[in-house]
Structure 1
């Protein structure tokens, strides 16, 4: 379930499990947001699902705020659980096609895996410089992200 936005237009801190149907119902209130959501769904169908990896997707970015015109949606492929080497290789190949995927789907794709040094799931739970400047709050302000389970 997707909780209500706080006074800054952010989700409360934590990882919030949800479905694509819930995302559509809560976050697609204008044509731009619907366009980004459609890109997310197309990414899942055409890029992620064919890999056959039963791992969650974490969804973040300005799309997961109350911002009217987000630029895109950030997605972290969470491969922190054990996965076959071939599956990890295929998922990482999506990261190498980052620019193409972003242009095609409006999805800024990242990968989380124990062999990758930065834990992007933790990183994306902080507001960040750009959003902090827009909202006039500290860039380390904690916020929530969404998780779609396979």
Structure 2
């Protein structure tokens, strides 16, 4: 079960597991959120195609914000070099890490990062970075969705 938002309009700290159906029931409403969710479904399809089993969802999409601009996602990356080569050839868009990444925004309505890669400015892994409020560095919650 996805917990209620805290007084700061975020999920309480921690990684909260949800099915895709639970996620949809909680976060897909209004006019803009369904459009972003369709992009997330495209992303999940591409990630499953390269063998990804888990995504972590963050950003204003998993807050009480009524009209988020996009969704932030990090995904578990294999350490198998041969498989990584295949993944980069199959979906190079998933490995774009610099700048605004308009290709990711256009295709997925998302900013997408491998979970076990360091975020540039902070130097911490994206999975940990996603669990902090950007302006205050306070802890917050994210959603884990298993894709199996």
TM range (shorter): 0.7 to 0.9
Matched pairs, number: 137
How far off its partner does 1:121 sit? 1.0
Structure 2 residue 78 is matched with structure 1 residue 72: no
* Distance (Å, rounded) in 2 between the aligned partners of 1:101 and 1:61: 15
How far off its partner does 1:12 sit? 0.3
Unaligned runs of 5+ in 1: 130-138
The two structures have a TM-score, normalised by structure 2, of: 0.82
Could you list the runs of 4 or more consecutive aligned residues of structure 1 that deviate by over 3 angstroms after TM superposition?
A: 114-118
What secondary structure sits across from 1:4 in the alignment? coil
Contact 2:117 2:126 in 1 (8 A): no
Select the structure that is richer in helix.
Answer: 1
What CA RMSD, in Å, does the superposition of the two structures yield over aligned residues? 2.2
How far off its partner does 1:122 sit? 0.8
Unaligned runs of 5+ in 2: none
Moved more, 93-102 or 2-11: 93-102
What secondary structure sits across from 2:102 in the alignment? helix
Candidates 107, 119, 143, aligned match of 2:125: 119
Moved more, 140-149 or 112-121: 112-121
The two structures have a TM-score, normalised by structure 1, of: 0.81
* Distance (Å, rounded) in 2 between the aligned partners of 1:5 and 1:112: 23
Contact 1:53 1:87 in 2 (8 A): no
How far off its partner does 1:39 sit? 0.9
Contact 1:58 1:75 in 2 (8 A): yes
Query: Could you give the per-residue CA deviations for residues 117-147 of structure 1, whole angstroms, max 9, x where no partner exists?
Result: 6311111111102xxxxxxxxx112110001
Name the residue aligned to 2:111: 108
Give matches, 1:18-97, under 5 Å.
Answer: 18-45=18-45, 47-54=46-53, 56-79=54-77, 83-89=79-85, 90=87, 93=92, 94-96=94-96
What secondary structure sits across from 1:146 in the alignment? strand
Name the residue aligned to 1:6: 6
What secondary structure sits across from 1:148 in the alignment? strand
